[in-house]
Structure 1
Amino acid sequence: MTLPGDGTPLQPSPALAAWRAVAPATPLDYADGHRGLVVTDHALARALLEDPRFSMQPARMPRGPGAPAAVDGDPPDPLDDAGREAQRASLLSLDGAEHARLRRAVAAGFALKRVRARGPAVAATVASALARFRAEGSPNDLWRRFAQPVAARTHCQVLGVPPDQEDAWVDLFVEPAPAQERHDFIRRLVALRRADPGEDVVSGLLARPDVTDPEVEGLLFMLMLSGRDSVAYTITTTVLALLRHPGQLAALRADPALVGPAVEEFMRVSAMFLTLFPRTAREDVELAGCPVAAGTTVSVSAVAANRDPQRWDRPDELDTGRDAFGHLGFGHGIHGCIGQQLARVEITEAVRQVLLGLPGLQLVAAEQLAPLPFAHPVATYEAGELLVRWDATAPA
């Protein structure tokens, strides 16, 4: 069994619901030939993601159509000795006490108090991006020309990348680039922030005596590549969802304060991760009546779990007034998204300003309304071009 490729972000493959109706977990083939499982049941998904008996290793990737090729054992990009040592500090490859220690170090930079303090800066970034978007004229591609710049600029500000280095960061971490060049960029940034610290993630990590220099480099490598794409994806897919539900769009436009609470529903119905990063059982485990043998790799489908009718009424409908608490759009448990509070602020502000700043907003075309190749070997949806038009003669 392989992952279905006939779904879209707002209309997942019917195979997922069919699998869930039969059992909470379904056999799944992995790229290295392993036969594991995929979880589609919400309760089992949360239980598994909370369970320390599951490891992030080995890094097996599920089989599915159109996914970029990458399996455990593929030769990595050439790296110098320091780069290879730094790579061992990735939170996506660690478990237990080492993971907990390094996650605490990173989490300090994304604490709720710090995120709230960044609210005005995020709002200013969104406003600047929206002004450029409007100036480029109607119609325009909301994904490439608005959502991606918002996510990239905020990512750089939070991490500590100076404005004159943002274009270089995009070239290296948004576009494909050799791993060694990425590590070299990180080392230059670390040297800069060591000499001139600020209120940013790099400076925060450097100030911690419990984190070594290679660990700082490895953590930053992961952070540079994580989060920005999912924020841009969610902004884009949320706007598309609202354009397809004009009544709910009008309600949010009439009361923009409702956008913040609605973000949880946006994350539920438009989850990016068809499957989260896989976990492998360290020992024989039984969860919610589902046996998992030691050595079995399991992928949790956030998309399927977020539409489980045992957890939500009318799960396939967008309802911005719904209490969507418990969704897996940010993952869950010890490996849940570390920047999710910042992501909420970015998504809220971007959607709010789009609704208020683009009067008469209409859909022209959206690539993601048809199935697209997965954006990552772990099986994530792509946002794709979202071409919109608006009344350019109306005041913003």
Structure 2
Amino acid sequence: MTAPVRTDRGSEELIRAEEPVLAHNYHPLPVVVARAEGAWVEDVEGRRYLDMLAGYSALNFGHRHPALIDTAHRQLDRLTLTSRAFHNDRLAEFAERLSALTGTDMVLPMNTGAEAVESGIKVARKWAYDVKGVPADRATIVVAADNFHGRTTTIVSFSTDETARSGFGPFTPGFKIVPYNDLAALEAAVDETTAAVLIEPIQGEAGVNIPDDGYLAGVRELTRRAGCLFVADEIQSGLGRTGHTLAVEHESVVPDVVLLGKALGGGIVPVSAVVGSREVLGVLHPGEHGSTFGGNPLAAAVGTAVVELLETGEFQRRATDLGEVLREGLDALVGKGVVRFRARGLWAGVDVDPALGTGREVSERLMREGVLVKDTHGSTIRLAPPLTVTAEELRGALGTLEKVLTAS
């Protein structure tokens, strides 16, 4: 761990201090983190917790990975921002290596995941008008129910989560919503106006919903036949989390466009990107899209270091191997408070017996035992530890889950 940060206020006082000055758009667990390293965090009182959430996969490489921190330190001493009004000496390597890692032609660098999704929507519409020949302002995008792609006004326009939608209309038109994992419904929704099908290969926020085998390959084939794009949102599922660089690789699928974020910034800076074929991303021309911070030198340097870690295949292998430990441990808990679970790689959605509490209540009990997770909906919690976690740490967390469930 790093040296303690001096503070004269404890967790409870700091939490109370936030109440009048922070917008109430989050309901965090009552823990105040002050330091972190690897898979562990420490609060202001010095209590240690195993991080089993990893910043919703933004911390795939753990807290303060030495290679990433060293890269950031060195870049901070050189150059942090130029805007895209000028070239910078870090962006070309980042784009080259990211495109090679993902097997794509071009990279559009942005900052946040929601920005990547918004950018993907714009690119798909532009492609529909310029390449497919859809009449002006008639392009549609087909999405899946229970999706989570972000919380901007356009994105919540095609959300089925009323918490995200309610009170934020009027909503952006041009989207069709179909059930997830239903190829027949998807085929019925696609027509001559369809620019793209936008889906998560695995629905994270919905509870780590994993589609049937063949679904992603079916989406690829359907979109190819219909002459529209397949846009895969890999912001949470990508970059090693499921045992492959991209989750679509489980079915050997190559989308037209992939949306990346979270882990691409190594838990240091927000970095996202839209990657895809030259035919698609090539529709953009100067002035049609941009970002002051997208592709900045600090982000590009950290992003390149992240790609370098993934190029070795080490983290993909860890996710696969440790995923077996996770699955075996959860299998043993079915009937002991766990009703069912869905897991792929080092990522799981766990449905707890509602009689034992809500997902929030189970998360709070785990927190008191030194394990940090987060609920999704109802009595479901998600587990997504850093890919640097050890098998021993993982088994310890699962043991703690068993303890809090059987003690209820």
TM-score of the pair, normalised by structure 1: 0.28
TM-score of the pair, normalised by structure 2: 0.28
